[in-house]
Amino acid sequence: MFVVPSWLFILLSLGLQAALCHSLKLNISQVTECEPVFVSFRGQFNSSLQQVPLSLQIFPFNSTPSLIPLPSYTANSTGVNVTFLPIPANTEFVATLASPSGIISVVSDVFEVSAGSPSNTACLPRTTFTPSFEIQNPANLSQCEDFTVSYSGQSPPVVELFNPRGHAYTLNLTSSAKNTATYNLAAIRQSQIMLSFISTDGVQNQTSSLLTGDAFSSTSCFPQSNKTDQNTSKSKSDTPKSSISKGTIIGLSVGLGAVALLAIPMVWLVVRERRRRRRIATSVDFDGSQMERQPSSYIPAIEKKGPSPPPPFFGYPGYTEGQYVKDPVYVSEKYSPTIRSK
């Protein structure tokens, strides 16, 4: 598998300053053989692409790439529907967005085409794939090492490297002979790559399988931080680098120091407060008997009250001043001429 000490050095050495501007990413929904799919975009299109025809590049592994034109409104949308992808079932592929000037998005993740139910192969091309390019010793690919490609045309192909969920760029041609060409694999170890062979004399374009390389290889194709001593630089490049960078170590040291500086005064304040409370508790002479209420010698005077006044008198029932009542109830029989004895 193909990694390098510093991502910045890798990108500078590969001439990928422009690739860093590719913030546009794409995703493809469930892909079924010869059925519609939805391609979604995440990120923003450059304003210069509003009036430029865009296309979807499909790169099935170890096969022939395809180019699908997209609608004119693509740059103003978050996704488009594609009628089908001309890829057979059980085939893995990656995809990118492209304009006439080149690739404008990050390489997609690896997708696989599933078989339909029932099976539908009407959209697949009828031509048979015949390889025109072949990598010699693909199992021995190494970072910063040369590899040889055999071709059947008149001139060597242009070789582009695609890193899934990464960037795509062109590899340097170091030498060529009759039907063979040598390229430098300026790739990142401990990652997977795919190579695309673009014919320069009319031969059908082709892709490689998903390749991996060794975990320990030279970094001579990347810039070194110190080139004053070539031998020292070479020995350092062959030595496995620590997975923790110097910046990370410095950051951890500063963070731990800050935590220690904050912890010391906090511990001191806690100890000081405990001592203060202990000193107050031991200096106070507490007498629980003082909390009880003492009996008082004061006896309040009792005020003597007189008898209650008689109730008010409003006269006898039936009596009205200036008149008299005939045969009142309290008159005896002998004083009442109207009462007869029985």
Q: What is the CATH number for 183?
A: 2.60.40
- Same domain? 206 vs 173: yes
Please report whether residue 260 resides in a domain.
Answer: no
Please report whether residue 215 resides in a domain.
Answer: yes
Say if CB 175 and CB 221 are below 8 A apart.
Answer: no
- Same domain? 209 vs 167: yes
Three-state secondary structure call for residue 139: helix
Please report whether residue 247 resides in a domain.
Answer: no
- Same domain? 101 vs 39: yes
- Same domain? 158 vs 209: yes
Range of the domain at 61: 17-112
E-strand stretches of the chain: 25-28, 37-42, 55-60, 66-69, 79-82, 92-99, 102-103, 111-112, 133-135, 146-151, 158-162, 168-170, 173-177, 180-184, 194-198, 206-207
Q: Inform me whether the pLDDT recorded for 73 exceeds 80.
A: yes
Q: How far apart are the first and last CA of the chain?
A: 145
- Same domain? 23 vs 105: yes
Sole residue written with tokens 């007498």:
287
- Most confident range (mean pLDDT) of 8-12, 35-39, 268-272, 275-279 is 35-39
Chain segment 164-208, per-residue pLDDT in tens: 999 999 999 999 998 999 999 888 776 789 999 999 888 889 999
The total domain count for the chain is 2
For every residue of 67-118, which 3-state class applies, written as one string? EEECCCCHHHCCEEEECCCCCCCCCEEEEEEEECCEECCCCCCCEECECCCC
Query: Which CATH number covers residue 84?
Result: 2.60.40.10
- Most confident range (mean pLDDT) of 57-66, 213-222, 252-261 is 57-66
Q: What is the pLDDT of residue 142?
A: 85
Given phi > 0 = left and psi -120 to 50 = alpha, else beta, which region is 212?
beta
* Chain Cα centroid distance, residue 309: 95
Please report whether residue 212 resides in a domain.
Answer: yes
Please report whether residue 295 resides in a domain.
Answer: no
- Same domain? 108 vs 140: no
- Same domain? 79 vs 142: no
Tokens of 113: 């085409």
Q: What is the pLDDT of residue 335?
A: 57
Residue 290: other Cβ atoms inside 10 A: 7
- Same domain? 21 vs 76: yes
- Same domain? 23 vs 85: yes
Please report whether residue 235 resides in a domain.
Answer: no
Share of the chain above pLDDT 90, in %: 35
Query: Running DSSP on this structure, what letter comes out for residue 208?
Result: -
- Residue 43 has φ and ψ, to the nearest 5°, of 125, -175
Say if CB 40 and CB 78 are below 8 A apart.
Answer: yes
| Region 258-286 average pLDDT | 83
- Same domain? 106 vs 137: no
Say if CB 194 and CB 162 are below 8 A apart.
Answer: yes
Burial of 27 (0-12, 13-18, 19+ CB in 10 A): middle
- Same domain? 29 vs 105: yes
Q: What is the pLDDT of residue 321?
A: 52
Nearest to 149 by CA among 187, 186, 180: 180
Please report whether residue 275 resides in a domain.
Answer: no
Boundary (domain end) residue, out of 175, 192, 225: 225
Burial of 320 (0-12, 13-18, 19+ CB in 10 A): exposed
Which segment of 30-34, 166-170, 178-182, 317-321 scores lowest on mean pLDDT?
317-321
Please report whether residue 75 resides in a domain.
Answer: yes
Q: What is the pLDDT of residue 11?
A: 44
